[in-house]
Amino acid sequence: RICIALLFLIWIGGMLYFFVSNKDENDKGEISVEERNKHIDNGKLSREKDRIERDINVANIVKDPKFRNNEQIDQRSLAKFDWKGYQLRGALKPGEDKNQRNAYNQEASELLPWDRVVPDVRDPGCRKKSYDKNLPTTTIIICFHNEGRAALLRTVVSALNKSPEHLLKEIILVDDFSDNPLDGEELLALPRVKLIRNNQREGLIRSRVKGADMAVGEVLTFLDSHCECNEMWLEPLLQAIKDNRKIVASPIIDVIGHEDFKYLSSSSDLRGGFGWNLNFKWDFLPPNHLIKHQQDGTAFILSPVIAGGLFSIHKSWFEELGKYDPQMDVWGGENLEISFRTWQCGGEMYIIPCSRVGHVFRDRHPYKFPGGSMNVFQKNTRRAAEVWMDDYKKYYFAAVPSARYSLFGDIRDRLQLRKDLNCKSFKWYLENIYPELKIPDDDVTSYGQIKYKGREDCINAVGEKSNVVLRVLPCRGSGGKDGDKQDWSWTKSNQIKHESLCLSGISKKSEEIVRMVPCVATDNFQKWKYDEKAAALINLGSNLCLDNYNVGKELMQTECKGHDTQSWKLAFTSTG
């Protein structure tokens, strides 16, 4: 109970800090990498599943997929659109939980005008940039499944308002079988808007391909259905692609708070990355890239992977490159897949800092996953790993053991595509594009979680590099949110390792706090023995036992007396 109370206090403190530090939306008080990663973590799905699954009303009239295109674009005008009426007909009902339907505060979203002004948070250097007059045209593709009307409308309207007329061919909405077909149909009254409605749930991956196939613009620009485009967001993306047809160009993704819908500037020192669990995450720019970025805040940022939702790509390059894997369902995995494919098959990926688009990052999925969220995410990810990662997929299996058993279907078409495009190896990708991703050592004999008293609490390595402390917190499962903080491995020299650090007893002193230090295979204080019978972890340098004596505080080593606070279970899998 003390532990829960403590966590609660930490959480309150964190929230306070977060809100205070983001008080002024115009200041450069940017959102932290942890905060952004928190919202894009993929693994927490299954735990949340019961809570999030909404009943989809199957009694809906199923309509054929259709593509409606009002020829008289000019007769439809933005000014005549009854935005309040549109929103009202799908608005939050009295007594309805405001966070339930969308996993964001729908009430806050509906209180904002459809064309609200957002702060121009671009690097000052961006205002001095000029772009060619004859940029390629684009089609904006927005897939949605039961998106809140206010957010969906703001996405479309901000795109209309912030894009030069001559560059925007059309906005294709792909309604992925939302409960109410009118959510999309009523938007056909807006200029340039076209609509495809799926007659069954397809997921965002196949839906995007449908939109892409219909597109008449030269460049495809994908957006999520809860975005707001910022000043001059489109030109930098199109210019990058005009200059190099094989560039996949992403904006900096600003944060629209899911609680208050404030538009917050994101740090421009971040780029897309992933760990061996193949969850997307934001990485700080590595030093050599950071220097370049600090010299010129408008320079392209090389990104090993894209977040997935917001990017432009030349239509012909998208097609040549194999669009998306059509056997990926619902959500997830496609972002890493298109990233590996782009880099390995001769393309490039950049974040273009002068382009900024806000996005509502959420903590959970508001929609149901036919097939179960974890299964679907794992299937998609495994397909990506099988096709693109060569032997390196073994590190994925090591990080997410259950992925070995996922049913991932037939991948022959995608392997053929890789062959036809003459793509480079994953080794090449790691060495040249993402050398920062460290390859796990082969001196590891087993890996997994260390459970306190063999129950539902696990040892976590909390904090950054030089200041990692150990805490016992609820087990989350590898791949889950913060699950990687609970990943431990046992080495051939009997070290207990997390990332590049090893658990050390430090000295012979009893009641000494144990610490994470750089691994040295010969240091006896870093060597441990697991006594199966006593369920104790004994340090070979001090002969003392790992102890959670001060519950909720850091771990220490104490004399081995068989106390239950000295009881640990290694939930480990062998690498062999």
Residue number with CB closer to ligand UD2 (197 or 242): 197
Residue number with CB closer to ligand UD2 (145 or 382): 145
| H helix or E strand, kind and range, residue 6 | helix 2-21
560 binds, among ligand UD2, Mn ion, none (CB under 5 to 8 A by kind): none
Residue number with CB closer to ligand UD2 (45 or 560): 45
Nearest-CA neighbor of 335 among 388, 264, 287, 405?
388
Nearest-CA neighbor of 384 among 305, 482, 485, 502?
305
Provide the phi-psi class of 232: left if phi over 0, else alpha when psi is between -120 and 50, else beta.
Answer: left
Tokens 């001769």 sit on residue: 346
Question: Please, what is the minimum distance in Å from the beta carbon of residue 359 to Mn ion?
Answer: 6
335 binds, among Mn ion, ligand UD2, none (CB under 5 to 8 A by kind): ligand UD2
Residue number with CB closer to Mn ion (202 or 224): 224
| 391 DSSP assignment | G
Report the relative pairing of strands 270-274 and 496-498 from DSSP bridges.
Answer: unpaired
Question: Please, what is the minimum distance in Å from the beta carbon of residue 305 to Mn ion?
Answer: 16
144 binds, among ligand UD2, Mn ion, none (CB under 5 to 8 A by kind): ligand UD2
Question: Please, what is the minimum distance in Å from the beta carbon of residue 92 to ligand UD2?
Answer: 18
Question: Please, what is the minimum distance in Å from the beta carbon of residue 222 to Mn ion?
Answer: 11
Residue number with CB closer to ligand UD2 (41 or 487): 41
204 binds, among Mn ion, ligand UD2, none (CB under 5 to 8 A by kind): ligand UD2
Binding site for ligand UD2 (CB under 6 A): 143-145, 147, 176, 201, 203-204, 207, 224-225, 253, 307-310, 330-332, 334-335, 359, 365, 367
| 80 DSSP assignment | T
Residue number with CB closer to ligand UD2 (176 or 283): 176
Residue number with CB closer to Mn ion (110 or 147): 147
176 binds, among ligand UD2, Mn ion, none (CB under 5 to 8 A by kind): ligand UD2
**Beta strands of 154-293 (E only): which ranges?**
168-175, 193-197, 219-223, 227-229, 247-256, 263-264, 270-274, 280-284
Q: Shortest Cβ contact with Mn ion: which residue?
A: 224
Nearest-CA neighbor of 153 among 217, 195, 110?
110
- Whole-number Å distance between alpha carbons of 377 and 328: 9
- Whole-number Å distance between alpha carbons of 85 and 79: 14
Question: Please, what is the minimum distance in Å from the beta carbon of residue 433 to Mn ion?
Answer: 25
- Strand partners for 570: 450
| Contact call for residue 147 and Mn ion (CB under 5 A) | no
Tokens 């808007």 sit on residue: 193
Question: Please, what is the minimum distance in Å from the beta carbon of residue 40 to Mn ion?
Answer: 9
DSSP code per residue over 124-154: GGGGG----SSPPPEEEEEEESS--HHHHHH
- Whole-number Å distance between alpha carbons of 37 and 132: 35
Residues 180-239 that bind Mn ion (CB under 5 A): 224
Residue number with CB closer to ligand UD2 (203 or 479): 203
Question: Please, what is the minimum distance in Å from the beta carbon of residue 84 to ligand UD2?
Answer: 23
Q: How many angstroms separate the first and last alpha carbons of the chain?
A: 40
Question: Please, what is the minimum distance in Å from the beta carbon of residue 245 to ligand UD2?
Answer: 22
Give residues in contact with Mn ion (CB under 5 A): 224
